[in-house]
Amino acid sequence: MAMALDFSALAPYGGEVAAGVATTISLTAVATLVGITAASVLAWLKLNGPAGVRWGIQAYVELVRNTPFIVQLFFIFFGLPALGVSLEAWVAALIAMTMNLTAYATEIVRAGIESIGKGQLEAARVLGLSRRQTYRHVVLVPALRKIYPALTNQCIIVMLGSAVISQISVEELTWAANFIASRNFRNFEAYILATLIYLALSIGMRQLFRLAGWHFLGGRQGRPSS
């Protein structure tokens, strides 16, 4: 006979869950900010840098995109100490998350930049803008607008993917769920709770991105700028 669900058994563990959520949010926030910034630079270098740099970026992007996050995480956390680089679990997790997001975001931003018409560049040129000014004002912002939905999705994917870092004992949300399950054997309740919190986090992140986009990009994300 199946056990009845009993969510009250989770009540004593509110503290662990809250701490776990806080860790998930903090790591995601840092990875998002660093990742998008790094990706904007890498995307520019990928299009304008010297051949060697372009090749290096391409190799990095392909490596990250074609291997599982958990393997990247294990490589950084378990593998790097062999080279004398020993990292705390949360640092390894943060590096893996940032690395992952940067690779995907680089491709997304590059596609956005390439979608900016030649006419826009020529218009900036005849107005006397430098290459750097053109990139910042004429290319980057409209490009970000266009790819904003894709970028939002990718950041949410990284947040959801961070569930895996519980495997190297970072005490985030999934770790908290595992912890509860190991104490009271209420696996189903613990995982349902965690799943619902993740769902709320992804919905919340989407709203936050929408607000941020409205604020910084002028509220026209995702529509072709015609």
Tell me which residues touch another protein (CB under 8 A). Answer: 1-3, 62-63, 65-72, 74-75, 78-83, 156, 160-164, 166-167, 174, 177, 181, 186-188, 191-192, 194-195, 198-199, 202-203
Distance CA 148, CA 138 (A): 16
Which residue in this structure is represented by tokens 């998350």?
97
- Give 88 or 122: the residue with its C-beta nearer to another protein: 88
Task: Tell me whether residue 1 or residue 126 sits nearer to another protein (CB atom).
Answer: 1
CB of 20 to another protein, least distance (A): 13
CB of 166 to another protein, least distance (A): 8
Q: How far is the CB of 159 from another protein (least distance, A)?
A: 9
User: Which tokens sit at 189?
Assistant: 């309740």
CA–centroid distance for 95 within its chain:
11
Distance CA 107, CA 35 (A): 12
Is the CB of 100 or the CB of 134 nearer to another protein?
100
The least CB distance from residue 185 to another protein, in Å, is 8
Q: Which of 202, 200, 180 is nearest to 190 (CA)?
A: 180
Q: Which letter does DSSP use for residue 4 in this model?
A: P
